[in-house]
Amino acid sequence: MRKKLHIKKGDAVVVISGENKGQKGKVLEVLSEKQRAIVEGVNMVSKHTKPNAASPQGGIVKQEAPIHISNLLNVDPSSGKPTRIGRRLNDKGKLVRYSKKSGEEIK
Confidence grade of residue 3 (pLDDT, cut at 50, 70, 90): confident
Quote the CA–CA distance of 62 and 33 in Å, as a whole number: 25
Render pLDDT for 47-83 as a digit per residue (tens, 0 to 9).
Answer: 999 999 988 999 999 999 999 999 999 999 888 899 9
The Cβ of residue 65 has, within 10 Å, a number of other Cβ atoms equal to 12
Give rounded-to-5 percent helix, strand, coil for the chain: 5, 45, 50
Work out the end-to-end distance of the chain between its first and last CA atoms, rounded to an integer number of angstroms.
24
What's the pTM?
0.83
Domains of the chain by start residue, with CATH:
12-50+60-106 (2.30.30.30)
- Percentage of the chain exceeding pLDDT 90: 83
What is the Cβ-side half-sphere exposure of residue 20, based on CA atoms within 13 angstroms? 22
